[in-house]
Structure 1
Amino acid sequence: MSPRKKKPEVRVYLEEDVDRLIKTLAAMRDSSINALINEAIELWLNQPEQQETIDRHRLDEMDEK
């Protein structure tokens, strides 16, 4: 079995009501908060406005370090 690559970590501060809502939704979906947040970020990145910015600045061509 190959070792898993460590993923970058991001820390965010949420309002208490948003925190409760996310935790409740994750539990109701039998999912993790991490999976729910990753899904939300993917949806946001795929919005036309974000895609336009990504394309304009060629952000999808950035080298991974």
Structure 2
Amino acid sequence: MLTLFKKSIKFPIIYFAVSIVWQLVVYREVSWVDSIGICLLTFLILFFYHWTNVPYNWKKGHNE
């Protein structure tokens, strides 16, 4: 589960940092709610995507 978190958090953090710097340079003010919202939504989408790619062990706990 920790590897899913690590895979999913990289892009949103980079986007957040670049977005904040861009807004400060271009507009001289930062729209924090928009930046945090987009970062959180991106994280959730990527986390779900990586979670769905993990195969489930159907015979887990069954002794044959």
Q: TM-score, normalised by structure 1?
A: 0.31
Structure 1 or 2: larger helix share?
Answer: 2
Comparing both chains, which one has the higher relative contact order based on Cα–Cα distances under 8 Å and sequence gaps of 6 or more?
A: 2
Q: TM-score, normalised by structure 2?
A: 0.32
Task: Determine which structure has more spread, i.e. the larger CA radius of gyration.
Answer: 2
